[in-house]
Structure 1
Amino acid sequence: MAVLLTVVIGINTSTAQTTPFVLGETQQFSSSILNETRTLNVYLPDGYAPAGNTRYPVIYLLDGSANEDFIHIAGIVQFLTMIKQLPPSILVGIANVDRKRDFTFPTTVKKDKADFPTTGGSENFIRFLDKELKPYVQQHFRTNDTSTLIGQSLGGLLASEIVLKHPAMFNNYVIVSPSLWWDQESLLKQAGKLPEGQASVFVAVGKEGKMMEEPAQQLSGLLKGRSGMRVNFAPLPEETHLTILHNAAYKALQWLNGVK
């Protein structure tokens, strides 16, 4: 099923015709790990040919529903490719079913449990990403060995958990306004006991208050202290929690590809 926009052709609305403007395609597949059907929104680069020889890097986008971040991040990918600041890439938007369940690990904080009763499923979701989603994408699309994960807010918490616990799962991480306050910052507190690995990581935070800004900076410092980690911490004080993702993703994809 295609992800569609509508283009109106003609001036006289009584005789106007419309044709679909195809932004990407939507695929659904069954996850045995999550025991549910998951939806993917996929943007393919210009010139992509299923039977061709060219293979492409993949950008995995959390909060990737059409009414969340898929459309505007696809625009960034298309534009940066057009101006040759990003190699032609496949964008895979992972549509949400229950982001509070999927993006959080169990918490000991009673208020968090009461406010977010379905939480605590990140370990399962990480297995889904690694054992089902990535193999599915590799099987159905012409991919190469380069992969990037983009996550913001609770999605940034999940991306932080992956880069700290399973750093080799992706080559690149774009972590925006991560909700590291979760479970009294327990993820940061255990970071010293977690495995090291190689990855490029872009961490961004806006003007979002001490609870968001200080843990993001701390995460960046922890990662910079690890051998094999290439890290860029980007404070964006002109942005808020609601506005930051677009600008941060633009800057992150430039930096990951050597554009200063």
Structure 2
Amino acid sequence: MRLLLAILLIVTIGINTSTAQTTPFVLGETQQFFSSILNETRTLNIYLPDGYTAAANTRYPVIYLLDGSANEDFIHIAGIIQFLTMIKQQPPAILVGIANSDRKHDFTFPTTVKKDKDDFPTTGGSEKFIRFLDKELKPYVQQHFHTNDTSTLIGQSLGGLLASEIVLKQPAMFNNYVIVSPSLWWDQESLLKQAGKLLAASPAVHVSVFVTVGKEGEKMEAPARQLGGLLKDKPGMYVNFEPLPEETHLTILHNAVYKALQWLNGVK
């Protein structure tokens, strides 16, 4: 009897194993294209909304994510977009995660601080990277995907520094900005010191800007507050400075993006 039960168990396990099937769980797609401005091939991670087809005529807003590598922020930000779309607090959107090759180079302008130059010798490439975003990346996405006229840029830390530089110098490049814990301390806060003049020189544009910072020390918190105040004074800018003191520099991005996308879509 025991032998019969053992045989039946082995057969059952064999049947279950042989009938089990596995298929890849596909979150998005990866594309690579060569940038003439940067003189290198760049990688994009793309999340497409449920029901997206190349043959359909539906057009979607695009959310551009700095630090968008698969092992950085692409996966959890895609999850936020999927969830907010599912609960109808966010319209279906395309997420473009921009994978890094050298973020310290791409996200920073040249510094006069000798220690920073010595510690991070590749820094100072933001001017080219901003041109890449404007002249190559955005046209590439518009050509290859069904996009509408609404675009959002998300950046944290050095990525927040880059987003701040864009909103101060070329605010019309995106409709919406999510600026999280911006590293405005860079080059002895030179960007912040120029902010008033840059805003005065830029044309009036209608853009929305969400700025936040966590419990990260005055070196991070004070400049973020100041940036939020300066942007609020610019005609045409709709600004929400919402500190998240329960978050740290390591934990803030996920909750910040969740709140920012709700705010951008009018969720109270």
Measured against the shorter chain, the TM-score band is: over 0.9
Aligned residue for 1:88, secondary structure, equals coil
For residue 223 of structure 1, give the secondary structure of its aligned residue in structure 2: helix
2:219 is aligned to 211
Q: What SS is found at the alignment partner of 2:22?
A: strand
Q: CA separation in 2, counterparts of 1:163 and 1:85? A: 25
The root-mean-square deviation of aligned C-alpha atoms, in Å, is: 1.2
Distance 1:212 1:14 in 2: 54
Q: Which residue of 1 aligns with 2:9?
A: none
Equivalent pairs counted in the alignment come to: 250
Does 2:224 correspond to 1:231?
no
Q: Encode CA deviations 1:67-126: one digit per residue, 9 max, x unaligned.
A: 000000000000000000000000000000000000000000001111111000000000
d(CA) in 2 for partners of 1:80, 1:252: 11
What is the Cα deviation at residue 53 of structure 1? 1.0
Q: How far 1:198 moved relative to its partner?
A: 2.4
Please state whether the residue corresponding to 1:29 is helix, strand or coil: strand
Of 192, 198, 216, the match for 2:196 = 192
Which residue is equivalent to 1:95? Answer: 99
1:244 Cα offset (Å): 0.2
Residue 125 (structure 1) aligned with residue 129 (structure 2): yes
Matched, 1:53 2:57: yes
Distance 2:108 2:101 in 1: 14
Distance across 2 between alignment mates of 1:206 and 1:105? 24
Q: Whole-Å Cα distance in 1 between the matches of residues 242 and 27 of structure 2? A: 30
Which whole-Å CA distance do the structure 1 matches of 2:17 and 2:163 have between them?
50
Residue 244 in structure 1 maps to residue 252 in structure 2? yes
- Asked which structure has the greater CA Rg, the reply is 2
Secondary structure at the counterpart of residue 208 of structure 1? coil
Higher helix share goes to which structure?
Answer: 2
In the alignment, which of 164, 168, 173 is matched to residue 168 of structure 2?
164
Structure 1 position 14, deviation (Å): 4.8
Aligned-residue sequence identity (percent) comes to: 86
1:155 match: 159
Question: Which segments of structure 1 move beyond 6 Å, counting only runs of 4 or more?
Answer: none
Q: Residue 26 of structure 1 aligns to a residue in which SS?
A: strand
Partner of 1:4: none
Task: Name structure 1 gaps, 5 residues minimum.
Answer: 1-10
C-alpha distance in structure 2 between counterparts of 1:224 and 1:76, whole Å: 27
Deviation at 1:191, TM superposition (A): 1.0
Supply the AA of the counterpart residue of 2:154.
Answer: I
Q: What is the one-letter code of the residue matched to 2:80?
A: I
- Letter aligned with residue 106 of structure 2: D
Separation (CA, whole Å) in 1 of partners of 2:253 and 2:167: 19
Question: Is the aligned partner of 1:146 residue 2:150?
Answer: yes
Structure-2 residue corresponding to 1:70: 74
User: How far apart, in 1, do the equivalents of 2:182 and 2:267 lie?
Assistant: 24
Q: Deviations over 1:5-36 (max 9, x none)?
A: xxxxxx98854432101000000000000000
SS across alignment from 2:135? helix
CA offsets per residue over residues 28-64 of structure 1, 9 Å max, x none? Answer: 0000000000000000000111111110000000000
**Structure 1 residue identity aligned to 2:87:** I
Instruction: Give me the whole-angstrom Cα distance separating, in 1, the residues matched to 2:182 and 2:108.
Output: 11
| TM-score using structure 2 length | 0.91
**SS of equivalent residue, structure 1 residue 17:** coil
> In structure 2, how many angstroms separate the alpha carbons of the residues matched to 1:252 and 1:222?
19
CA distance in 1, matches of 2:137, 2:79: 23
- Distance in 2 between residues matched to 1:115 and 1:64, nearest whole Å: 24
Structure 1 residue 258, shift from structure 2 partner: 0.3
In structure 2, what is the equivalent of residue 18 of structure 1? 22
The 3-state SS of whatever aligns with 1:101 is helix
Secondary structure of the residue that 1:236 maps to in structure 2? Answer: coil
In the alignment, the residues of structure 1 paired with residue 25 and residue 172 of structure 2 have an alpha-carbon distance, to the nearest angstrom, of 37
